[in-house]
Chain A
Amino acid sequence: MAIDMDVMLEKIKDRQWALADIDWDAPGAETISDEFRPRLKAFMADLCWIENVGARGFAAMAKKAPTPTLAEIYRYFHAEEQRHANAELALMKRWNMLEDDDEMPEPNVNIRLAIEWLDRYSDDMSLSMLGTVIPMLEVALDGALLKFLLEEVHDPVCHQVFEKINNDESRHIAVDFDVLNMIGHAKARKLSIEFVGNVATPGFIIGALTYVPLLNRMRNNIVGMGLEPERLYNAMRRFKQLGERGEYTWRVPTYQILKLHARMVVNPANPYHLVANPMVKLSDLYPKALLRPIPSWFKEITHRPAA
């Protein structure tokens, strides 16, 4: 069932919310124990930056969109991901996880690498490439992480915030998979030419090298928090399920690759992890001096409802 994108855009405009809609001083912050706080802080920092990374992905998508309406939708999604990052930072502030007003959570090296990749290559990637990777990030990471958070954290404000975030995300995912289906509708020749053209680029290769350890590090962090990796795996399976609903999605080569990759990831016994796990460790050794300066879009995150 194709979505009427004009109707979707109107719906998006109707459902906008702001940090100011939430009472950040309402009771409930005390439910976070001192013992839990540092672990939750690391988790929230990751989450926050992943939203920010997703936001940058949508910014790239907006430039590729085949119609002005879809471009406008992606423009909103870009902002909404940023809003989620802002709201999550505001939660961190509420839970006293930020030392001073201007403290930003430190992104881990894999996030830094992902940011570098996005900044450098994402604008040159094709819609089919971006259109597949972004839903995977949204379904897998957001899906798994958010569910976990809501089970572990009993602060009502947190639940209020994530209800809003989840509503936004469900629209993102609906559009993502609709577009993926649309991409699959293209001529096979076009799909394959585009795919080959993309795979042969340093952008794709470096992107893959960035994505593999990022995912495994996330898994490690989740496990470190006491979550069964199954949660992440289930979320990744959802990528396949949602993709199967589309009539033409299966024809998108990148979708097939990511699906195959997801199958390897969700099986802890798969030899894939013999490569992926050391990559996480290797990335820790990545010389900091080689990291490029953090781009200015990365610093736009704010926990302040008013500016």
Chain B
Amino acid sequence: MTREPGVQAQARNHTYATLIIGAGFSGLGAAIKLRQAGIDDVVILERGDRVGGTWRDNTYPGIACDIPSVLYSFSFVKNPEWSSAYPSGAEICQHIEDMATDFDLRRHIRFGMEVNGLGFDEKEGMWTATTLARKQFRARTVVFASGPLADSGFPDIRGIDTYRGHKIHSAQWDHDYDFTGKRIGVIGTGASAIQIVPELVKYAEFVKVFQRTPGWVLPRWNPATPQPVKDLYARVPAVQQLVRQALFWGHEASATALVWNTPLSSVMARLGKAHLRRAVKDPWLRRQLTPDFTPGCKRMLISSDYYPALQRDNCKLIDWPIATLSPSGVRTSDGVEHHLDCIVFATGYDVHLTGPPYPVTGLGGRSLNAEWAGGGQAYKSASAHGYPNMFFMTGPNSGPGHNSLLVYAEGQLDYAVQGIKTILDNDLRYLDVRAEVQRRYNNGIQKRLTKTTWMSGCSSWYLTKDGFNASMYPGFATQYLRQMRDFRYGDYHAVEQTADVLTGARKST
């Protein structure tokens, strides 16, 4: 699979400077940044056979990002060619492919390598990753870039195994299935469903949308980028940078309504209700579609075609609870059985708020999975005490509710590169964040979280089963980026190769 024989040949006993897990946006971003910092001995382990991560896996009809691509991209990877404000998932995926090619990253990637275990050797200061294909990779540092929405599966709904029709998960779309003239059920009304439904109603005989909780939907304005604008972006990149800045600050301003529960949150609710009133005529349907949680508590949905799609003659919103799936379809609690040829599960992802789905063993044999069982905790979302030389992308409490994930990821990249450079340049055996620093940081984060919309009482995938918020960052992107630029050596416990323990504090004096 690998195009560069060099990487493969050296794989067996070689110890890489950095091992990156995942060849999605953040994994490739990490490789670019590391190379720019002069670290070239990098291997990227990718379980698929293509780059792109979540954008490669999610190919359902209508897929797009809910943040404009000029902002949902890395500032150091220019793309003047975005076809519109919110281009399709395929276009985003192509952008990631181009990123891999243009920055000559493919020679670092080992495809078909699904990591199933990570262990740290304290004596050697070395991480070893094992893969499903029984390969081992050794590296001094690890960048965890498997993404928050990488895994998905059918939900645990009663009777799901009895259903005899066709089942499709939104994140694993079946492109061979012909929806024309079929009776389709869509379970879920979140970010994926609101993009899928408007597409399905174009082909299907009938679409029934099964809703549990309606979300706040704001209209989406998605103008095509005119060719002269693309040309301008290409000739004068500063113009696109300016647009990016404007979008950034626009989104930052929305934090005052979406991150914190403020009077502006109710303004946001009013906007949502106004959109609903304008788009939906029937008062009962409007009532069914009116959310009863604070805007922001669950992710805002952006769509101008979801409400119209629901009101088409061949579409119906079913608000009754699902009692069970049956061999022929869905039985709702009003006693009716909905006969369906195919059920689309737009039920979201298996978000690993409690750590990766495989064992990670740190200092003294400690288990990350056990320590994170109640929800992940890290320092600045990037380092976890006891798991040295490892840097998390989209780690605990790094999620934005109002801005581009990739803006946050850039902060994480800078932080990881500073950390990795510190380890390599000083030839440290390991660099481990101090327990009390991490504890203090998390106490602060959890305290700040109490004032946010995410903790205002709705149940969302941001929270663990016990209601612990291990996913979101309670602040502006600006604040987050400021903390990520500031790599404090003194916050870490540094151990040199000679086994002489040097504290960061001592070393820095």
A75 and B321: CB pair below 8 A?
A: yes
Q: Which residue of B lies closest to A21 (CB)?
A: B335
**Chain A residues within 8 Å of B328, by CB:** 306
Q: How many residue pairs between the two chains, A and B, have CB atoms under 8 Å in the bound complex?
A: 68
B337 and A80: CB pair below 8 A?
A: no
Q: Is residue A20 contacting chain B, with contact meaning CB distance below 8 A?
A: yes
Q: Is residue B123 contacting chain A, with contact meaning CB distance below 8 A?
A: no
Residue-by-residue, is A58-93 near B (CB-CB < 8 Å gives 1, otherwise 0)?
000001000010001001100110110011000000
Task: Specify which of B284, B333, B337 is in contact with A76 (CB 8 Å cutoff).
Answer: B333
In whole Å, how far is B257's beta carbon from the nearest beta carbon of chain A? Answer: 23
Which A residues from 279 to 307 make CB contacts under 8 A with B? 295-297, 300, 302, 304-307
Q: Which residue of A lies closest to B281 (CB)?
A: A296
Q: Is residue A258 contacting chain B, with contact meaning CB distance below 8 A?
A: no
B336 and A18: CB pair below 8 A?
A: yes
Q: Is residue B263 contacting chain A, with contact meaning CB distance below 8 A?
A: no
B335 and A87: CB pair below 8 A?
A: yes
**Chain B residues within 8 Å of A305, by CB:** 335-337
**Chain B residues within 8 Å of A76, by CB:** 321, 333
Residue-by-residue, is A39-64 near B (CB-CB < 8 Å gives 1, otherwise 0)?
00000000000000000000000010
B331 and A79: CB pair below 8 A?
A: no
In whole Å, how far is B212's beta carbon from the nearest beta carbon of chain A? Answer: 9
A16 and B331: CB pair below 8 A?
A: yes
A306 and B284: CB pair below 8 A?
A: no
Question: Given contacts A16-B324, A16-B331, are A86 and B292 in contact (CB under 8 A)?
Answer: no
Residue-by-residue, is B165-208 near A (CB-CB < 8 Å gives 1, otherwise 0)?
00000000000000000000000000000000000000000000
In whole Å, how far is B461's beta carbon from the nearest beta carbon of chain A? Answer: 15
Using C-beta atoms within 8 Å of the partner chain, give the interface range for chain B.
20 to 34
B323 and A18: CB pair below 8 A?
A: yes
Q: Is residue A11 contacting chain B, with contact meaning CB distance below 8 A?
A: no
CA distance A86 to B282 in the complex (A): 22
Task: Specify which of A16, A297, A302, A306 is in contact with B333 (CB 8 Å cutoff).
Answer: A16
Residue-by-residue, is B316-334 near A (CB-CB < 8 Å gives 1, otherwise 0)?
0000110110101001111
Q: List 13 A-B contacts (CB under 8 A).
A: A16-B323, A16-B324, A18-B326, A18-B331, A19-B336, A72-B321, A76-B321, A82-B335, A304-B336, A305-B336, A306-B328, A306-B338, A307-B336
A307 and B338: CB pair below 8 A?
A: yes
A79 and B284: CB pair below 8 A?
A: no
CA distance A284 to B186 in the complex (A): 45
**Chain A residues within 8 Å of B339, by CB:** 306-307
Interface residues of A (CB under 8 A from B): 13, 16-20, 63, 68, 72, 75-76, 79-80, 82-83, 86-87, 119, 123, 295-297, 300, 302, 304-307
In whole Å, how far is B332's beta carbon from the nearest beta carbon of chain A? Answer: 7
B331 and A20: CB pair below 8 A?
A: yes
In whole Å, how far is B316's beta carbon from the nearest beta carbon of chain A? Answer: 9
Question: Given contacts A16-B324, A18-B331, A82-B320, are A296 and B337 in contact (CB under 8 A)?
Answer: no
CA distance A63 to B459 in the complex (A): 15
CA distance A20 to B333 in the complex (A): 12
Q: Is residue B158 contacting chain A, with contact meaning CB distance below 8 A?
A: yes
Q: Is residue B285 contacting chain A, with contact meaning CB distance below 8 A?
A: yes
Q: Which residue of B lies closest to A87 (CB)?
A: B335
CA distance A79 to B331 in the complex (A): 12
B334 and A86: CB pair below 8 A?
A: yes
Interface centre among A17, A18, A304 (most CB of B within 10 A): A18
Q: Is residue B6 contacting chain A, with contact meaning CB distance below 8 A?
A: no
Residue-by-residue, is B446-488 near A (CB-CB < 8 Å gives 1, otherwise 0)?
0000000000010100000000000000000000000000000
Question: Given contacts A16-B331, A18-B331, are A306 and B337 in contact (CB under 8 A)?
Answer: yes
Which B residues from 302 to 351 make CB contacts under 8 A with A? 320-321, 323-324, 326, 328, 331-339
Q: Is residue B283 contacting chain A, with contact meaning CB distance below 8 A?
A: yes
CA distance A302 to B335 in the complex (A): 10
Known: A296-B283, A305-B336. 17 other contacts (CB 8 A): A17-B335, A20-B326, A20-B331, A68-B459, A72-B321, A75-B321, A76-B321, A79-B334, A80-B334, A82-B334, A82-B335, A83-B334, A87-B335, A295-B284, A306-B337, A307-B338, A307-B339
In whole Å, how far is A81's beta carbon from the nearest beta carbon of chain B? Answer: 9
B321 and A296: CB pair below 8 A?
A: no
CA distance A68 to B212 in the complex (A): 13
Q: Which residue of B lies closest to A59 (CB)?
A: B287
Interface centre among A19, A119, A295, A307 (most CB of B within 10 A): A307
**Chain A residues within 8 Å of B324, by CB:** 16
Which B residues from 433 to 447 make CB contacts under 8 A with A? none
**Smallest CB-CB A-B distances: 9 pairs:** A79-B333, A83-B335, A16-B323, A82-B334, A296-B284, A297-B284, A19-B335, A79-B320, A18-B331
**Chain A residues within 8 Å of B332, by CB:** 79
